[in-house]
Amino acid sequence: MRTKVLTVLMCVAAVGMMGGVAFADSSAPAAAEGAATNLVGFGLALGLAIAAFGGALGQGKAISTAVDAVARQPEAGGRIQTMMLIGVVFIETLVIYMLLICFMWGDKVK
């Protein structure tokens, strides 16, 4: 229960911090353009941090559950390990996608 509350609060905080960027006025003067690019950098860093944190939680849960399953049924260890590794690869892929987004948008930050 506590983990769910923490996850919801983190999502609400992330959405709240991105509100200023989402509703930014595109007709702003050129002097304010530097501030917008700094917000892009902040958003990228925050997004990567959230992706890494979520990926770490997901991988920890997957590995913990796999170890528990192998402890209960040692004869199914090979199949469980294979499924766990596939799941961990998919979780890590999402974090790598966010890293690629950071690299693609990184030139917008001054």
Is 52 part of any domain?
yes
50 inside domain: yes
Total domain count, the chain: 1
What are the phi and psi torsion angles at 28 (to 5°)?
-70, 155
Q: The domain that contains 44 carries what CATH number?
A: 1.20.20.10
**By residue range, what is the domain housing residue 55?**
35-110
**Is residue 97 one of the residues assigned to a domain?**
yes
Residues in contact with 95: Cβ distance below 8 Å, sequence separation at least 6, in sequence order: 51, 52, 54, 55
Q: For residues 51 and 94, give the distance between their C-alpha atoms in angstroms, rounded to a whole number.
A: 8
Task: Calculate the alpha carbon distances from 46 to 28, 31, 64, 66, 70 in Å.
Answer: 24, 25, 27, 30, 36
**Is the residue at 4 inside a domain?**
no
This prediction's pTM? 0.61
79, part of any domain: yes
> pLDDT, tens digit, for every residue of 70-99?
999 999 999 999 999 999 999 999 999 999
Write the pLDDT tens digit of every residue in 8-57. Answer: 666 656 655 655 555 555 555 555 555 566 788 888 888 999 999 999 99
2 within domain boundaries: no
